[in-house]
Structure 1
């Protein structure tokens, strides 16, 4: 009897139910992958917003249905964040629960919906429809990007085809304070993605973020912001993605999001919101997916495995074996062609054990009786019912030729 842990991954909880792409997987890809691998920005010629046979092709497939261990997507998100191949390159790393969900989805066959998003181009245009910038606005934008980079942040266009800007200050950690948010001044007409996770900002700093009404994605995970800060964001009605993981936000703070009709994904895991607060917001925003981190517990299934005989031919007659006629010898299953051969073996195994093909025997000696060096378990000779080990095939042959000469050295 052996116990197998199904969907075990990094010692974390894995959803036990069937994984639904739209409900469980797409939100993860939207939050961490689509900014580089969607209909418009397929870096490395990779798109993850739709299924194509190419994802499972080649020597290093991106997603190989049924084989998460051979799927490059899962391998990359599980690397150390300092590894140059780690994904995502920007933004928060996937949580253990998200990684486990991807693993379970691939394990279950990586099922995609029969129809993809109706019009990915329309979604792209909506997300980055910032209009034409004036020369003055372009100058202010260029100056702001330079200032952000000057403090060690990452800033630039989301894609060459748009003036929309992406800023990431999360890598600077607590060194980023409310004062540093002034560097975003000048990006009001064009800032669409902003990552402030793990920074030292407070509720007061979010008053400056509320001015950026073009924002579509906002990461505030593991910051000290709370309900008062979210009150400053009520004007961000075009926001589609908001990460409040590990913050001080409560149900009162969630109420400030009720007017964000475009909001599609909200993370509140390890915040101070309750199920009641989540339900109330869902009622106001039925189209939003709210990740609370409350996933199903892993399922432990006991699987009974039947031992398989080590040999295919009977050691006494040489005939094919009958698995029902078997005995356990040295913790291995040996099978015979019939009950008579089984009884003969049990009566005196030493007469027949050398003819059991596939039997792995542990040598009784640690040193080669011919040379005195350490034995190699691959070189075994059964002598008087005992498995004698040798360091090499030459010593084994020498012993077989004249056992009496070396018997005293079997220790």
Structure 2
């Protein structure tokens, strides 16, 4: 598989799974087993980016003057050129790259109320960040799906808490030094090669860098408040330089080129770990992650379920699309609710009997394993685990 797989979306999104509030991600995972043709769980691969549709644009009061400028007099404003009304929600929810190199950027002449706290310029086809200086109270600046090539002209926006530049044409992280109150930064789906320029963002809680060209995890271990780090769909080969991220809860590294699970020992609060679609062959070095509740390891080269002894809080375990032959070493996971083992090599019915200890198990995916050739296999699973409510994509009766 060489670490490559189809990136599909929910949310994100992967990962579009977006948090109900911008500090929680990846909760709306789509089970690939329920859709046999889906190669990977999108939410686990790339967490869902903040949903543009959730922006409170409905309350915006936009008044057009006699010129082409727009005057925005609300604390939550959607600003779009009136000529582009039909384009403003085009492709909403599309996680694929929507920006075209040959698309012509547009100039928007805008005037904002100085008290505006949110500006939404998603899908506005703007090519340059400008005219934001008067936003003295701005907290959210949403610039998704545009043609922006450079982060610039926002140094005065010191009140900014959330900056979204998802799906643009950025190549460098720059000019963020003064944004010391920034809590959420979304630079996913760009062309960034290095993680840098984040030195002063000491209040950052969520960093989205999914689908770029990043080859190394670096320059993030000073971000002491970081709770979510999204690096899915890049070119990373080694898990490294995460020491110091003491409050990190969610780590998404799906669709990279990682061969070994390592250097996670310091992440004592980690709750979600996604390593889907990499080059792993062994489950290892998870002993210190005792708070882990969701572990996504589908689309790798795993042959054995092992080394999960200390991960007793696991609720979701995704091992789909591997080479596993035996279900084992999970009887102690008494809180396990979802087990994804579709598209493996499980053939022994005796292996299924080990599930009788997993009394909290609600959902199991075993389709496309040799044992499912038995037309009665769902009934047999139900006999072993009568508490299960869903087997594959079918509700268990």
TM-score (norm 1): 0.36
Q: Which has the higher helix share?
A: 1
